[in-house]
């Protein structure tokens, strides 16, 4: 029972840490892109640690059921982190590109 509670709590903390990293990547308008990038990388590294510990909780086999332990990469928190960090990276790079793109989105197609 304690292992089930720790799994749920660690999964929730992993999701919150990934959310914290996404917020720092996109919703900090007072900072520049270089500062946002550094902050996002640091927060993603912290989120990776939290999701790794959560994945270890999920990979731990239950004593009541005799089954083979899961590989760490196949656990839900680690997969959530990998997919979430890829999505954050793609959106961050595309928003960085669109911010530096010289054209505005208009019908005249005139770039200055």
Q: What is the pLDDT of residues 54-88, one digit of tens each?
A: 999 888 877 666 666 668 888 899 999 999 999 99
Q: Is 84 within 8 Å of 43 (Cβ atoms)?
A: no
Closest by CA position to 20, among listed 40, 48, 49, 38: 40
Enter the tokens of residue 8: 């749920």
112 pLDDT above the threshold of 60: no
3-35 tens-digit pLDDT: 889 889 999 999 999 999 999 888 877 778 888
């Amino acid at each position: 029972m304690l292992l089930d509670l720790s799994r749920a709590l660690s999964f929730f903390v992993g999701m919150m840490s990934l959310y914290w990293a996404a917020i720092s990547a996109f919703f900090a308008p007072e900072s520049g892109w270089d500062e946002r990038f550094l902050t996002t990388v640091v927060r993603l590294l912290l989120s990776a640690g939290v999701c790794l510990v959560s994945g270890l909780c999920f990979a731990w086999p239950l004593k009541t059921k005799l089954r083979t332990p899961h590989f760490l990469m196949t656990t839900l928190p680690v997969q959530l982190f990998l997919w979430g960090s890829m999505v954050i990276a793609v959106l961050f790079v595309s928003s960085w590109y669109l911010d530096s793109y010289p054209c505005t989105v208009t019908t005249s197609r005139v770039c200055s």
